[in-house]
Amino acid sequence: MVVVGDVIVSKIIKKLVEIGFEYAADRYFARDTRMKDELERLNDALPRILAVVEKAESGQQEVTGALKKWLWQLKDAVYEADNVLDELDYLKLQKQVKEKASGSKEHGHS
């Protein structure tokens, strides 16, 4: 298993792609075709990325300096993606609060 820092890379990559597709399927993001296109591109590249990571995790591939550097860059990208997903969660919640507040005002509630 490749652990970069305290991160198990393949599990996090799979989870981020899964979460990304959930967002793309959500009606809030349904109009954002650019996001869907990026997720499709990532999904197409995912098997190749995971093949390298899984070989390194299983010990079938020696983790050389170049591979180790790539894995660290991948870890950084995973953290950035996680931050983006957190921001999307925040924006979604913010939209829900605004919709709820405007619905309450329309019905005469304060």
Range of the domain at 50: 3-106
45 three-class SS:
helix
Question: In total, how many domains does the chain have?
Answer: 1
Residues 6+ apart with CB under 8 A from 110: 104
Tell me: pLDDT of 44 over 70. Answer: yes
Q: The pTM is what?
A: 0.51
Res 5: pLDDT: 47
Q: Yes or no: say if 24 and 80 are a contact pair by the CB < 8 Å rule.
A: no
Q: Which pLDDT band, with edges at 50, 70 and 90, does 102 fall under?
A: confident
64: left (phi over 0), alpha (psi -120 to 50) or beta: beta
Res 18: pLDDT: 76
Q: How far is CA 10 from CA 38, 41, 51, in A?
A: 19, 17, 9
